[in-house]
Chains A and B, each alone.
Chain A
Amino acid sequence: MNEVWHDHIEWALSWPWSARVAVLLLSAAVLGLTWLNVRQVASLRRRAVLLGLRGSTVVLLLLVLAQPSWVSVSQHLASARTAVVVDRSASMALGKADARRWDRALQAAKALVGDGSVDLYSFGETLEPAKNWQELAKRRPDAEGTNLAAVLRGLASLRRTAPWKAVALISDGLDNAGVRARNPSGATSLDADTLSDLRQLQAPLHAIYVDDPEPVRDVAVAAVRVSSFGYTRTYVPVAVDLEVSGLADVSGSLTLQLSDNGKTMVTQQVPIAGPARRTVELEFQPLHVGTHILEAAVVPLPDEVTIANNRAHVGMRVVRDRTRVLHLAGHPSWDTRFLRTHLKGNSSIDLVSFYVMVGQGAGSMVSAEDTTLIPFPAKEIFEESLSGFDLIVLQDFPFGPFNLEQYLPQLTQYLQGGGAMLVLGGPQSFGAGGYAGTGLADLLPVEVARTANDGGWVGGAQKLTVTPIGAGHPASLLGRDAQESTAIWQKHRLVGRNSALRPRQGSHVLVTDPAGEPILAVGELGEGRTAMLASDSLWMWAFGADVDTEGDSNREVQRSHYHRLFEQLSAWLLRDPDLELLRIDAPGEPVPAGKPLSVGVQLRDGAGQPKAGAALRYAVVPLAELKGEAATDHNGPTTDPRGLATLRLDGLEAGAYLAVVEAEVDGRRQRASAAVIVAAERIEAAQVQPSDRLLQLLAKASLGTVYAGRAPSGGLPVPPVDRREGAMLADKQHTDLWSRPEVLLLLVALLCGEWFLRRRWGLA
Chain B
Amino acid sequence: MPDCWARWGWVDPPMSVFIKAFTGCLLVLATLLVGPAVAGELPSAAVRLAWLKTSTVDPTSALESWVQEVRLRTSIQADPHTAAVRPEDPAIFHFPLLYWAGDRAPPRLSDTAVANLRQHLSTGGTLIIDNVGRAEASAAFDSAVRRELLRIFPQPLQKVPPGHVIFRSFYRLEQALGRRADSRDLEGLRVGGQFAVLYTRNDLQGALARQSIGGFAMAVVPGGETQRESAMRLAVNLLMYALCLDYKDDHTHVLYLLRHRRGEDGP
Residues of A at the B interface (CB closer than 8 Å) are 330-338, 340-341, 344, 351-359, 361-362, 365-366, 370-375, 377, 380, 426-427, 451, 455, 461, 493-496, 535-537, 539-540, 542-546, 550, 552, 555, 559
- Tally chain B residues at the interface, Cβ within 8 Å: 46
Q: How far is the CA of A161 from the CA of B145 in the complex (A)?
A: 106
Q: How far is the CA of A27 from the CA of B71 in the complex (A)?
A: 115
Residue contact A362 to B96, C-beta cutoff 8 Å: no
Residue contact A334 to B96, C-beta cutoff 8 Å: yes
Residue contact B42 to A540, C-beta cutoff 8 Å: yes
Chain A minimum-CB-distance residue to B92: A545
Residue contact A353 to B124, C-beta cutoff 8 Å: no
Residue contact B72 to A544, C-beta cutoff 8 Å: no
Contact A495 to B244, CB < 8 A, known contacts A352-B250, A371-B172: no
Residue contact B73 to A366, C-beta cutoff 8 Å: yes
B248: chain A residues within 8 A (beta carbon): 372
A344: chain B residues within 8 A (beta carbon): 245
Residue contact A334 to B253, C-beta cutoff 8 Å: no
A338: chain B residues within 8 A (beta carbon): 124
Q: How far is the CB of A458 from chain B (nearest CB, A)?
A: 12
Chain A minimum-CB-distance residue to B4: A451
Residues of B at the A interface (CB closer than 8 Å) are 2-4, 42-47, 71-77, 90, 93-94, 96, 115, 119, 123-125, 168-172, 233, 240, 242-245, 247-248, 250, 252-253, 256-257, 260, 266-267
Residue contact B75 to A552, C-beta cutoff 8 Å: no
Q: Which of B45, B93, B168, B266 contacts A375 (CB 8 A)?
A: B266
Contact A336 to B93, CB < 8 A, known contacts A427-B77, A461-B42: no
Q: How far is the CA of A493 from the CA of B47 in the complex (A)?
A: 18
Q: How far is the CA of A524 from the CA of B127 in the complex (A)?
A: 43
Residue contact B172 to A370, C-beta cutoff 8 Å: yes
Contact A365 to B72, CB < 8 A, known contacts A334-B243, A372-B257: yes
Residue contact A540 to B45, C-beta cutoff 8 Å: yes
A-B pairs, top 7 by smallest CB distance, nearest first, are: A537-B45, A331-B75, A332-B243, A377-B267, A372-B168, A374-B256, A359-B75
Residue contact A362 to B244, C-beta cutoff 8 Å: no
Residue contact B42 to A546, C-beta cutoff 8 Å: yes
A334: chain B residues within 8 A (beta carbon): 45, 47, 96, 243
B243: chain A residues within 8 A (beta carbon): 332-334, 336-337
Q: How far is the CB of A57 from chain B (nearest CB, A)?
A: 98
Contact A455 to B2, CB < 8 A, known contacts A336-B243, A357-B74, A359-B75: yes
Q: How far is the CB of A149 from chain B (nearest CB, A)?
A: 58
Q: How far is the CA of A355 from the CA of B267 in the complex (A)?
A: 15
Q: How far is the CB of B253 from chain A (nearest CB, A)?
A: 6
Residue contact B253 to A358, C-beta cutoff 8 Å: no
Q: How far is the CB of A374 from chain B (nearest CB, A)?
A: 4
Q: How far is the CA of A354 from the CA of B247 in the complex (A)?
A: 8
Residue contact A372 to B124, C-beta cutoff 8 Å: no
A333: chain B residues within 8 A (beta carbon): 45-47, 76-77, 243
Q: Which of B123, B242, B256 contacts A543 (CB 8 A)?
A: B123
Q: Which of B2, B172, B243, B267 has the most CB of A within 10 A?
A: B243
A355: chain B residues within 8 A (beta carbon): 75, 244, 247
Q: How far is the CB of A359 from chain B (nearest CB, A)?
A: 5
Chain B minimum-CB-distance residue to A398: B75
Residue contact A555 to B93, C-beta cutoff 8 Å: yes
Residue contact B90 to A550, C-beta cutoff 8 Å: yes
A331: chain B residues within 8 A (beta carbon): 74-77
Q: How far is the CA of A542 from the CA of B123 in the complex (A)?
A: 8
Q: Which of A330, A341, A540 contacts B43 (CB 8 A)?
A: A540
Q: Which of B96, B168, B242, B266 has the most CB of A within 10 A?
A: B96
Q: How far is the CB of A388 from chain B (nearest CB, A)?
A: 13
Q: Which of B44, B90, B115, B172 contacts A372 (CB 8 A)?
A: B172
A362: chain B residues within 8 A (beta carbon): 72-74
B244: chain A residues within 8 A (beta carbon): 332, 336-337, 340, 355
A494: chain B residues within 8 A (beta carbon): 45
Q: How far is the CA of A141 from the CA of B131 in the complex (A)?
A: 99
Chain B minimum-CB-distance residue to A354: B252
Q: Which of B73, B75, B93 contacts A332 (CB 8 A)?
A: B75
B2: chain A residues within 8 A (beta carbon): 455
Residue contact A559 to B45, C-beta cutoff 8 Å: no
Contact A559 to B123, CB < 8 A, known contacts A374-B266, A535-B45: yes
24 A-B contact pairs sorted by A residue (CB < 8 Å): A331-B77, A332-B76, A332-B244, A332-B247, A333-B77, A335-B45, A338-B124, A340-B244, A340-B245, A352-B252, A357-B74, A357-B75, A358-B75, A359-B71, A359-B74, A365-B73, A370-B172, A371-B171, A372-B169, A372-B257, A380-B267, A461-B42, A537-B45, A539-B96
Q: How far is the CA of A376 from the CA of B187 in the complex (A)?
A: 32
Q: How far is the CA of A559 from the CA of B169 in the complex (A)?
A: 27
Q: How far is the CB of B80 from chain A (nearest CB, A)?
A: 14
A552: chain B residues within 8 A (beta carbon): 115, 119
B169: chain A residues within 8 A (beta carbon): 372
Q: How far is the CA of A493 from the CA of B4 in the complex (A)?
A: 31
Q: How far is the CA of A542 from the CA of B43 in the complex (A)?
A: 13
Q: How far is the CB of A381 from chain B (nearest CB, A)?
A: 9
Q: How far is the CA of A434 from the CA of B98 in the complex (A)?
A: 34
Q: How far is the CA of A356 from the CA of B76 in the complex (A)?
A: 9
Chain B minimum-CB-distance residue to A450: B3
Q: How far is the CA of A546 from the CA of B253 in the complex (A)?
A: 35
Residue contact A543 to B125, C-beta cutoff 8 Å: yes
Q: How far is the CA of A545 from the CA of B85 in the complex (A)?
A: 14
Contact A495 to B247, CB < 8 A, known contacts A337-B242, A371-B170: no
Chain B minimum-CB-distance residue to A341: B124
Q: How far is the CA of A624 from the CA of B177 in the complex (A)?
A: 68
A461: chain B residues within 8 A (beta carbon): 42
Q: How far is the CA of A370 from the CA of B236 in the complex (A)?
A: 13
Residue contact B42 to A495, C-beta cutoff 8 Å: yes
Chain B minimum-CB-distance residue to A331: B75
B171: chain A residues within 8 A (beta carbon): 370-372
B74: chain A residues within 8 A (beta carbon): 331-332, 357-359, 362, 366
Q: How far is the CB of A423 from chain B (nearest CB, A)?
A: 16
Q: Which of B3, B115, B124, B250 contacts A455 (CB 8 A)?
A: B3
Q: Which of B94, B119, B170, B242 contacts A357 (CB 8 A)?
A: B170
Q: How far is the CA of A337 from the CA of B43 in the complex (A)?
A: 16
Residue contact A542 to B119, C-beta cutoff 8 Å: no
B72: chain A residues within 8 A (beta carbon): 359, 361-362, 365
Contact A542 to B45, CB < 8 A, known contacts A332-B76, A362-B74, A371-B171: no
B43: chain A residues within 8 A (beta carbon): 495, 540, 545-546
Q: Which of A337, A377, A427 has the most CB of B within 10 A?
A: A337
Chain B minimum-CB-distance residue to A428: B77
Q: How far is the CB of A560 from chain B (nearest CB, A)?
A: 11
Chain A minimum-CB-distance residue to B257: A372
Q: How far is the CA of A361 from the CA of B71 in the complex (A)?
A: 9
Q: How far is the CB of B259 from chain A (nearest CB, A)?
A: 10
Contact A536 to B170, CB < 8 A, known contacts A340-B247, A543-B123, A552-B119: no
Q: How far is the CA of A620 from the CA of B11 in the complex (A)?
A: 62
Taking A338-B124, A461-B42 as given, write out 9 further A-B residue pairs in contact, using a Cβ cutoff of 8 Å, ordered by the A residue number: A333-B243, A334-B45, A335-B45, A356-B75, A362-B74, A371-B170, A374-B267, A455-B2, A555-B123
Chain B minimum-CB-distance residue to A536: B45
Q: Which of A359, A539, A555 has the most CB of B within 10 A?
A: A359
A332: chain B residues within 8 A (beta carbon): 47, 74-76, 240, 243-244, 247
Q: How far is the CA of A427 from the CA of B47 in the complex (A)?
A: 13
Q: How far is the CB of A197 from chain B (nearest CB, A)?
A: 61
